[in-house]
Amino acid sequence: MAEQQIGIIMNGVTGRMGTNQHLIRSIVAIRKQGGVKLPNGDVVMPNPILVGRQENKLKALAEANGITRWSTDLDKCLENKDDTVYFDSQMTSFRTESIKKAIAAGKHIYCEKPIAPTLKESLELARMAKAAGVKNGVVQDKLFLPGLIKLKRLIDSGFFGKILSVRMEFGYWVFEGDWQAGQRPSWNYRKEEDGGIIVDMFAHWRYVLDNLFGEVRSVSCLGATHIAERVDEKGERYNCTAEDAAYATFQLEGGIVVQANSSWTVRVNREDLLTLHVDGTEGSAVAGLRNCKSQHRVNTCKPVWNPDIPNPFNFTEQWQDVPDNQIFDNGFKVQWELFLKHVVCDTPFPWDLLEGAKGTQLSDLGMLSWLERRWIDVPELTL
């Protein structure tokens, strides 16, 4: 068994996603487990260099995680031929320029979603990567959530019959930052820094819907900035210039209707931060992040509208859990492993920058629908 090192430039790892999901729970976890096993029995071991702006933060993060390399000089890192992969989890607004440099330096690209703030920039990146012949991929973590894997299993089994509609509820209350710190960075609430829930979440909804139910064909969207003022990380008040909620309807190929509420201004009264309720002719299901429950047509009760008597049904008890039947690893880590295998031995990796650009296409069209107060068709996207 031979071990091969793969040098990865990790930019933006001091951030929320970079530190927790990509560094600690993916790359460090892969190193601790002894690397990624390749189909021929060899092993590929990630060798990261952490890149950012503040040396003290990078040094502390590297030391805490047994990593010896860090740098504040991206250009210099890109010159190192041994580091063949560039990863980006910076704030969205800084991603495009850094990825362009990395492609120009011949690096394979893996990055957070959205790959860029607009479709124009996203397509440019996808085209550049193709022209340069570098491997490329985008994080599509929700596909690897246990709840959605179980939902996909139901879909593949034909459980639903004909799928009619999907109701997606995403969100939670993000504190305003005055008397309790906000759980999300303040740039999320500033349009001038490419914040806003539409650009953030539609990037997810596109691949979730395309992969599970069918391609998104049209969108109608209403955004809202419910909280006008928040307090940032330094304790300073700022005006919220980006929407914190989006109320959208999507039509998919085959006629499936999807309602998707995305909100950072909702108090949770459901089983999870994201739930997908799917109704089909033969059965229904509700998936959360880890769980999925189903109700077949033969188990469906027959309510009759009568507010004059107490409700005789306990509706929530009428669902059955879909069993795990497998072990679920962290979704970010699973996707990292697939990407590294793709780089090293060309195994399939369908979630490329073009797929990422489709996410940005949906957010662009969602914004346009809101602005122009109308339905918008989603054209096919090609390179």
Ligand X SMILES: NC(=O)c1ccc[n+]([C@@H]2O[C@H](COP(=O)([O-])OP(=O)(O)OC[C@H]3O[C@@H](n4cnc5c(N)ncnc54)[C@H](O)[C@@H]3O)[C@@H](O)[C@H]2O)c1
Please report, as ranges, the residues that interact with ligand X according to CB under 6 A. Answer: 12, 14-18, 52-53, 89-92, 94, 112-113, 139, 141, 185, 200
Please state the closest distance from residue 255 (CB atom) to ligand X, in A.
29
Shorter beta-carbon distance to ligand X: residue 23 or 166 = 23
DSSP lists the bridge partners of residue 136 as 109
Please state the closest distance from residue 89 (CB atom) to ligand X, in A.
5
Q: Which residue has the tokens 């990567």?
A: 129
Shorter beta-carbon distance to ligand X: residue 182 or 280 = 182
Strands 43-51 and 70-71: parallel
Shorter beta-carbon distance to ligand X: residue 92 or 275 = 92
Contact between residue 339 and residue 137 where contact means Cβ atoms under 8 Å apart: yes
Helix residue ranges per DSSP H, the chain: 16-17, 29-32, 55-64, 74-79, 92-104, 119-132, 146-157, 197-212, 331-345, 353-372
Report the 10 Å Cβ neighbour count for 48. Answer: 26
Shorter beta-carbon distance to ligand X: residue 50 or 154 = 50
Strands 320-321 and 376-377: unpaired
Please state the closest distance from residue 346 (CB atom) to ligand X, in A.
25
Please state the closest distance from residue 186 (CB atom) to ligand X, in A.
8
Shorter beta-carbon distance to ligand X: residue 135 or 204 = 204
Please state the closest distance from residue 29 (CB atom) to ligand X, in A.
17
In the bound state, the residue with its beta carbon closest to ligand X is 15
Contact between residue 45 and residue 341 where contact means Cβ atoms under 8 Å apart: no
Shorter beta-carbon distance to ligand X: residue 83 or 193 = 193
Please state the closest distance from residue 184 (CB atom) to ligand X, in A.
7
Number of helices followed by number of strands (H, E) in the chain: 10, 18
Please state the closest distance from residue 90 (CB atom) to ligand X, in A.
4
Report the 10 Å Cβ neighbour count for 345. Answer: 12
Strands 245-252 and 257-263: antiparallel
Contact between residue 214 and residue 253 where contact means Cβ atoms under 8 Å apart: yes
Shorter beta-carbon distance to ligand X: residue 272 or 280 = 272
Exposed/middle/buried for 43, CB within 10 Å: 0-12, 13-18, 19+?
middle
